[in-house]
A and B are shown apart, each in its own frame.
Chain A
């Protein structure tokens, strides 16, 4: 059983890290977004391995369902000539910073620190009591009620802000004709052309 969990964990880690590497290195932005979705799915599976089912479902709903769709739409709305270079001029500095952060700060800290993990309570073999979605729901109306309200206000403000920022005034909007409007316009142009030729004939 332990070995099976370890194998699943190893596969998920390989998928998460590999997909994240593809996100930051692949040239096509659409492909990067698709790799990002793969990474989100793998993280949701990792939550399931960690026995946090509700967070896993929320991850799939919000990240895979909403955020990646937003990102794909933004990519499609902003297709442009991207130029030759994929990374900025000082990308080696960014690589140095992130590698240094990982190798010199994060990894030694989390390996060197002694985590006092509590021993499993109860008889050996019985499953541990975990706080589930019921406790989360209760916490949202008791101890985290302020956080909950602030999150609601934040979402409202973000909604209004996104609309205000992305709103385009009607006068500046490029007008796209519908088929019927195009048909009427063409008829009117033909009519004026005929009238002009008739006037020219009459003058002759």
Chain B
């Protein structure tokens, strides 16, 4: 497997996925869309960790363990973020990020 695909190819895929997720998180107007972009970014970090484990340190488990921890953090972040979105929707009756600007001053 490591002969067929160079490490750089996997890392380039993860980098592209990260940049797409960053664009989504910065530019979507819908709050749920922002959260989806963040999920894409976390996914790309996981691809990086698994690729480094497979190519550089296949005997150690640091890569997969931290991938599992990142999945845990992503699940917690999604739960709290979606609860906040529902609370914001209840108060402002909107989920567009440019209408929720009462902290702007």
Contact = CB atoms under 8 A, between A and B. Distances in A.
Interface of A: 1-3, 5-6, 9, 13, 16-17, 20-21, 23-24, 29, 32-33, 36, 39-40, 43, 46-47, 49-52, 54-55, 58-59, 62-63, 66-67, 70-71, 73-75, 77-78, 80, 82-83, 85-91, 93-95, 97-99, 101-102, 106-107, 110-111, 115-118, 120, 128-131, 135-136, 139-140, 144, 147, 151, 154-155, 157-159, 161-163, 165-166, 168
Contacts of A82: 29-30, 95-96
The binding surface of chain B is classed by DSSP as: helix
Contacts of A6: 4-5
A99 B1 CA distance: 30
Contact of A5 (B5, B27, B96): B5
A155 B29 contact: no
Contacts of A90: 27
B28 A117 contact: no
The binding surface of chain A is classed by DSSP as: helix
B71 A139 contact: no
Contacts of A73: 82
A33 B27 CA distance: 16
A97 B17 CA distance: 14
Given A86-B29, A97-B23, 16 more contacts: A6-B4, A6-B5, A23-B37, A49-B1, A55-B64, A63-B74, A93-B26, A98-B22, A102-B16, A102-B18, A110-B8, A110-B12, A135-B61, A139-B61, A151-B69, A155-B76
Interface of B: 1-5, 7-13, 15-24, 26-33, 35-37, 39-40, 43, 46-47, 50-51, 53-56, 58-61, 64-65, 67-69, 71-80, 82-87, 89-90, 93-98
A152 to B, nearest CB: 9
Nearest to A20: B20
Given A75-B32, A151-B72, A80 B5 contact: no
A41 to B, nearest CB: 11
A108 B80 CA distance: 36
Contacts of A95: 23, 27
